A = this chain, B = another copy of it.
Amino acid sequence: MNKQILLIKRPQGMAADTDFQLVETVIPTIAADEILIKNEYVSLDPAMRGWMNEGTTYIKGVGLNEPMRAFTAGIVVQSNNINFAVGDAVQGLFTVQQYVISNGENISKIDTKNIPLSWYLGILGMPGLTAYFGLLDKGQPKEGDTLLVSGAAGMIGSLVGQIAKIEGCKIIGIAGGKDKCDYAKTELGFDEVIDYKNDNVAKKIKELAPNGVNIYFDNVGGEILDAAMINLALGARVVICGAISQYNDAQFNGLKNYMKIVSARATMSGIIVFDYFPRAEEAIKDLSTWLTEGKIKYKEHIVEGIEKFPETLRMLFTGENYGKLLLKI
């Protein structure tokens, strides 16, 4: 049998257990050119909250009573496709269930000889590429720049900071609570940290970046984004990656200080990782090198059991996880 998680209700605010249903169906049968994949890991990403809403933004919302969308990694267990053999490890945008079918398009065959399968959902997968291209392509870091990143103890924020450090930036991270701040400073090498739960964020940014912030990489939105805006340096680049503080709010908190873009001669743009899939190799090559050289630290937070999907998803928004959050099926 095939266990799957269906989206059965559109969440109001934070996703509830009752918005999902765990069902069992028969394992699907593959047609010509198709492969059957047994999923081993499901990636939990803030973007999922948006996918649960009706309508289309950069991607269509998940249909009601359909399996919840997710990036997953697994092993090919049946193949009618000459490009894939049984035993191959693959990764792609699938759904939260034990078995998925693919015609082989838009999935990546991955090398698990030296690298754990799960890493392809994190540092060498979508979040890794988001951090890499969001920072390097959109943020355009230069040696001596001051980079500020929110969600600094999270998957993307921690990576953005570490890559910026490699590029010669001073890195300031914003995270929630003493533990996460300590982790960012001692483990991840942030030069400075701001605890948004205890500090006056705007004041603290000003203190730590007296000449202003050259790059602000935003994972959270809301008041922290506004606090960063008023501290932009001339010519700053603001990269919008996410707005995790806002996804569960019915009333999306706007950006009050957007006029600072004008006075700071700043630019604001966003990062959609799908646009960079054709360039994935560049990122994977650099990230693997940095990992091997010990220049980047990477941490996973793995929860076991497909039935724990709803509560694991919520951890992203309550900030309970350190590093990359995954569900092991």
Contacts and interface: CB of A to CB of B under 8 A. Distances in A.
Contact of A255 (B243, B254, B262, B271): B254
A138 B54 CA distance: 34
Contacts of A275: 265
A295 interface: no
A254 B261 CA distance: 13
Contacts of A256: 252, 254
A267 interface: yes
Given A256-B252, A256-B254, A268 B271 contact: no
Contacts of A240: 258-259, 261-262
B254 A258 contact: yes
Contact of A263 (B57, B241, B254, B263): B57
A270 interface: yes
A2 interface: no
Contacts of A267: 267-269
Interface string A108-122: 000000000000000
Contacts of A269: 261, 265-268
The oligomer's copy count stands at 2
A58 B260 CA distance: 9
A256 B256 CA distance: 8
A21 B275 CA distance: 58
Given A254-B254, A256-B252, A261 B268 contact: yes
Contacts of A268: 258, 261, 267-269
A272 interface: yes
Interface string A222-254: 000010000000000000110100000000111
A257 B255 CA distance: 8
B272 A259 contact: no
Contacts of A266: 269-270
Given A252-B256, A255-B254, A272 B263 contact: yes
Contacts of A257: 254
Contacts of A263: 57-58, 270, 272
A97 to B, nearest CB: 27
B259 A258 contact: no
Given A58-B263, A240-B262, A254-B258, 8 more contacts: A221-B259, A240-B259, A254-B254, A254-B255, A255-B258, A259-B270, A263-B272, A265-B269
Nearest 4 Cβ contacts at the A-B interface: A262-B270, A254-B254, A254-B256, A58-B263
